[in-house]
Amino acid sequence: MALVLQYLYLDKTMAVSNNQIDAKKEFVALLGLPDLAISTEATFIRHRSLSSTFEIYKDDGILREYFPSSFIIMDSKIGNVNE
Amino acid sequence: MIEFKNINKSYKLGKNNTVAALKDININIKEGSVVVLKGSSGSGKSSILSLVSAISKPTSGEVIVDNKQISKLSDRFASEYRLNNIGIVFQKYNLVEDISVEQNVILPLIPKNLDSDLVESKVDTALDMFGIKHYKNSTVKNLSGGEQQRVAIARAYINEPKIIIADEPTANLDEKLSLDFIEIIKDLKKQNKTVIIATHDPLFFNLDIVDKYIEMKNGSII
Amino acid sequence: MNKYINLYLLEYSINSLLRQKYKNIFITTILTFLIFILSSMFFITSSIKNELQFSVESLPEITVQKLISGKHYDIEVDRVNEILSITGVNDATARVWGYYYFVNAGVNFTLVGIEQFEKQYKDSLQNLVDSSKGFDESNAYIGQGVKEIMRKNYFKEYFNFILPDGSLKKINIGGTFKSDTNLESNDVIVLSKENMRSIYGMSEEYATDIVVKVANPDEVATVAAKIKLLYPDTRVITKNDLKVSYQNIFDYKSGVFLALFIVSLFTFFIIVFDKASGLSSSERKEIGVLKAIGWSLDDVLKEKFYEGALISVFAYLLGVFLALGFVYGFGAPLLRDIFSGYSELKTAFELPFVLDVQTMVLVFFLSVPIYIASIIIPSWRVASMDADEVMR
């Protein structure tokens, strides 16, 4: 029962409203950049879809794995897609 | 009504170690009779009780109850047979101590999934019959030995089985309570129940109500 | 109701659980915790995926990047004209964007340059921004996170960018992006392309990449191929590629799955081992007595099933309930650090609430049936044996 109530409550408050969806779409259309700003320190995570797997070399001379974000977020295959 | 034909029962206690608990037993028990199995521990009394209640199967031979062969029943039918025909009063009562008397007595009724009215009335009847109605909601561990035994008997009785089995019922009772128990047996006999008692209590050795004595020693009848 | 649920049996099961109160409370707590962690992770990943889905349609159909020796290089702006001449191409624009490392705070901002005099931008910008000033040369619009960082470093009305030659460029803060777009805009600063070029020291002839609009979705692949033929030194990314990459962002190869999997396995083995390593002698005797009273194997198993179900279903509901509150109510305090990593610039992690039935069902099947099985199996073994020990 509590679960149902909680679901209803969350639906009202936290769910994405249409206005919000429109705002998000507009913003993305404006910038044209994919990916969320959840992890900003490593560029190959921040703009994962536009970066290649070699980005990590470009970012830092000392090769440092940006853990745990890169552990969690699967590498985008776009970098290796040729066709 | 109960027949043992050429019953042999052995137990395996390990590799190459078999114990013969019963050797070539033949018994005939009429319906509505009270039977006492005499004998010291290890003589095979408990094995006979197990066989009558289809808790175990004989190594060879047949057990026939009410013209039905129960010695080779599958688990499901054996359980059903026990549920409807047998009531067991264990030596150590084997009650669930942390719950109430009512909840203990109800146990044999649970598999039948009956209406709550019916269950209520059966419970009340059984508790009434053995004089423990006022303990209905008491926790079992708070009762005395004699009272607990009555609970065990009520539990055995509740499905109104034809056969009631008691294993050393007076082992933990004083004389007064033992006599009370004998009164209960008389009541059961009046209802035409077949009662089988395994005991080595001399109190039972010369009772009028007992129809048959079977003395056991080392797995055979003497 | 009586036919399906045997209430007396249920009562007996409840009492049976209460008889071993502490052990059962312990197990329930572990199960709840496990389900809580699993669900939280699933909720987070599923919300992130959903968030990405909202925006994917608005992304440009094709993005063209120049790659030399595996690294990004600025692309020539006049390539735009060539691309425009490909059939099917509606529009092609050169983009200037990149990163700016703000030394004082040790954070990375994403800078995006747009043409201030294009009317379409002006209108949509006004919609997205809580702003005070209009968009022009000297102004920038920033995300919430940027604003916070700048404020902490005493930049309230304006900000100084350090140019490649060492000089400072002052840019006024014109407004902040609305919190609705937080997950996308948190670290973003939007400037005019002119300002961008001077901050990066990039000449007019170059841009960061080129975005291409194609009217007909079916033609995108062909256009992309043509561009690639035209400019072999580029990487051409289509919207479809993006969609695909969003699908696998948290797939089975990613650490999320692995971590969760290991945690679940480990905890389960502990519980199941404890249960399945055989029942205690008192439990065996209890089953023996029940069988002697007349309970069949089915009845015994049904009772054990009720016991297992009571614990695991309760743990499931409680775990999910707590996870929902944790993730959506509190923004998942510790877990979100796993996703943000070492970011100095953290978003508020206000994830959108999406009811993913699939996930809930998955978590259910990972926990409840396994626990119930771990209770039933040892009981089944005991209950199938002859109960004659009970007589001795």
Counted residue by residue, chain B has a size of: 222
Q: Which residues does A64 contact at the CB level (< 8 Å), separation at least 6?
A: none
Does residue B161 contact residue B84 with C-beta atoms inside 8 Å? Answer: yes
pLDDT digits (tens, 9 = 90+) for B136-167: 888 888 888 888 888 999 999 988 899 999 88
For residue B213, give both structure tokens: 């004595």
pLDDT score of A5: 73
Return the number of CB contacts < 8 Å for A and C. 213
Q: How far is CA B148 from the centre of its chain?
A: 15
Which residues from B are below 8 Å from C380, CB to CB? none
- Is C12 in contact with B82 (Cβ distance < 8 A)? no
Chain C residue at shortest CA distance from B80 = C294
Mutate which of A3, A72, A76, A83 to disrupt the C interface (most C C-beta within 10 Å)? A72
Cα distances (angstroms) measured from residue C159 to each of C108, C162, C196: 15, 10, 14
A69 pLDDT more than 70? no
Cα distances (angstroms) measured from residue B65 to each of B26, B125, B149, C344: 13, 27, 27, 83
- How far apart, in whole angstroms, are the C-alpha atoms of residue A72 and residue C256? 5
- How far apart, in whole angstroms, are the C-alpha atoms of residue B20 and residue B14? 13
A7 pLDDT more than 80? no
pLDDT score of C357: 80
Give which of A28, A15, A51, A29 is closest to C185, Cα–Cα: A28
Average pLDDT, chain B: 86
- Nearest-CA distance from C382 to chain B in Å? 13
**Residue C62 dihedral angles phi and psi, to the nearest 5°:** -135, 135
Among C97, C107, C353, select the one facing A33 at the smallest CB separation: C97
- How far apart, in whole angstroms, are the C-alpha atoms of residue C16 and residue C311? 12
Among A7, A27, A43, select the one facing C355 at the smallest CB separation: A7
Among C108, C338, C352, select the one facing A72 at the smallest CB separation: C338
- Nearest-CA distance from C4 to chain B in Å? 9
Helix, strand, or coil here: C170?
strand
**B174-187 as b/e, with b when 16 or more CB fall inside 10 Å?**
eeebbebbbebbee
Is the minimum CB–CB distance between B48 and chain C shorter than 8 Å? no
Which residues from C are below 8 Å from A20, CB to CB? 180, 352
Share of chain B above pLDDT 90, in %: 2
Helix, strand, or coil here: C143?
coil
- How far apart, in whole angstroms, are the C-alpha atoms of residue C227 and residue C221? 10
Write out the DSSP string of B99-123: SBHHHHHHGGGGGG---HHHHHHHH
Mutate which of C15, C19, C21, C293 to disrupt the B interface (most B C-beta within 10 Å)? C293
Q: Which residues pair with B217 in a beta bridge?
A: B220
- How far apart, in whole angstroms, are the C-alpha atoms of residue C51 and residue C40? 16
- Is A7 in contact with C338 (Cβ distance < 8 A)? no
- How far apart, in whole angstroms, are the C-alpha atoms of residue C322 and residue C305? 25
pLDDT digits (tens, 9 = 90+) for B5-50: 888 888 877 777 888 888 888 888 888 889 998 888 777 888 888 8
Q: Which ipTM did the prediction report? A: 0.86
pLDDT score of C348: 66
**C40-50 as b/e, with b when 16 or more CB fall inside 10 Å?**
bbbbbbbbbee
Kindly indicate the confidence band of residue A67, based on its pLDDT and cuts at 50, 70 and 90. low
Helix, strand, or coil here: C372?
helix
Which residues from C are below 8 Å from B57, CB to CB? 386
- Is C321 in contact with A37 (Cβ distance < 8 A)? no
For residue A51, give both structure tokens: 């970066």
Which residues from C are below 8 Å from B90, CB to CB? 289, 292, 390-391
- Is B111 in contact with C294 (Cβ distance < 8 A)? yes
Which of the other chains make 3 or more beta carbon contacts under 8 angstroms with chain A?
A: C
Does residue C239 contact residue C60 with C-beta atoms inside 8 Å? Answer: yes
Name every residue in C having a CB less than 8 A away from some CB of B.
Answer: 2-3, 6-9, 11-12, 15, 18-19, 285-286, 289-299, 384, 386-388, 390-392
- Is C293 in contact with B84 (Cβ distance < 8 A)? no
**Residue C221 dihedral angles phi and psi, to the nearest 5°:** -60, -40
Mutate which of C4, C5, C8 to disrupt the B interface (most B C-beta within 10 Å)? C8
Omega cis (within 30) before B108 = no
For residue C324, give both structure tokens: 């929902």
Which residues from C are below 8 Å from B115, CB to CB? 2
For residue C143, give both structure tokens: 């995300």
Q: At what angle do helices C255-276 and C21-56 cross, to 10 degrees?
A: 160
Rg (alpha carbons) of chain C, rounded to whole number: 31
- Is B79 in contact with C384 (Cβ distance < 8 A)? no
- Return the percent helix, strand and coil in chain B, to nearest 5: 35, 25, 35
pLDDT score of A81: 47
Cα distances (angstroms) measured from residue B113 to each of B88, B127, C209: 21, 20, 75
- How far apart, in whole angstroms, are the C-alpha atoms of residue B33 and residue B195? 6
Kindly indicate the confidence band of residue A62, based on its pLDDT and cuts at 50, 70 and 90. low
Is the minimum CB–CB distance between B99 and chain C shorter than 8 Å? yes
- Is C108 in contact with A41 (Cβ distance < 8 A)? yes
Cα distances (angstroms) measured from residue A62 to each of A59, C107, C108, C184: 9, 18, 18, 29
Find the farthest-apart pair of alpha carbons in chain C and give their distance in angstroms, rounded. 98
Chains C and A touch (3+ CB pairs under 8 A): yes
Q: How many C-alpha atoms does C81 have within 13 Å on its Cβ side? A: 4
A74 pLDDT more than 80? no
pLDDT average, residue stretch A46-52: 74
Which residues from A are below 8 Å from C343, CB to CB? 38-41, 69
**A54-63 as b/e, with b when 16 or more CB fall inside 10 Å?**
ebbeebeeee
Give A 39-58 residues with CB within 8 A of chain C. 39-43, 45-52, 54-55, 57-58
Chain C residue at shortest CA distance from B198 = C391
- Is B79 in contact with C295 (Cβ distance < 8 A)? yes
Which residues from C are below 8 Å from B50, CB to CB? 388, 391
- How far apart, in whole angstroms, are the C-alpha atoms of residue C219 and residue C256? 36
**Residue C98 dihedral angles phi and psi, to the nearest 5°:** 175, -155
List the beta strands (DSSP E) in chain C: 62-68, 71-73, 75-76, 89-102, 107-114, 129-131, 139-142, 158-162, 168-177, 188-192, 206-207, 209-214, 234-238
- How far apart, in whole angstroms, are the C-alpha atoms of residue C232 and residue C235? 8
The tens place of each residue's pLDDT in chain C, 392 residues long, gives 456 678 888 888 998 888 888 888 888 888 888 888 888 888 888 888 888 887 888 888 888 888 887 777 888 888 888 888 888 888 888 888 888 888 777 788 888 888 764 555 666 666 677 666 666 667 788 888 888 888 888 888 888 888 888 888 888 887 888 777 777 888 888 888 888 888 888 888 888 888 888 888 888 888 888 888 888 888 888 888 888 877 777 766 666 667 777 777 777 777 766 766 666 777 788 888 888 888 888 888 899 899 889 988 888 888 888 888 888 877 777 777 777 766 666 666 677 777 778 878 888 887 888 888 888 887 887 777 766 665 55
Is the Cα dihedral B101, B102, B106, B110 positive or negative?
negative
pLDDT score of B144: 87
Kindly indicate the confidence band of residue B222, based on its pLDDT and cuts at 50, 70 and 90. confident
Site of tokens 């006024």: C172
**Residue A52 dihedral angles phi and psi, to the nearest 5°:** -110, 170
**Residue C321 dihedral angles phi and psi, to the nearest 5°:** -55, -50
Chains B and C touch (3+ CB pairs under 8 A): yes
The region that residue B102 occupies, defined by phi over 0 for left and psi between -120 and 50 for alpha, beta otherwise, is: alpha
Give which of B192, B189, B148 is closest to B171, Cα–Cα: B148
For residue A46, give both structure tokens: 């921040």
Is the minimum CB–CB distance between B167 and chain C shorter than 8 Å? yes
For residue C165, give both structure tokens: 């030659």
- Is B50 in contact with C388 (Cβ distance < 8 A)? yes
**Total-model pTM:** 0.80
- How far apart, in whole angstroms, are the C-alpha atoms of residue C62 and residue B60? 85
- Is B83 in contact with C298 (Cβ distance < 8 A)? no
Cα distances (angstroms) measured from residue C350 to each of A52, C179, C336, C341: 28, 10, 10, 17
- How far apart, in whole angstroms, are the C-alpha atoms of residue C387 and residue C232? 80
Which residues from C are below 8 Å from B108, CB to CB? 293-295
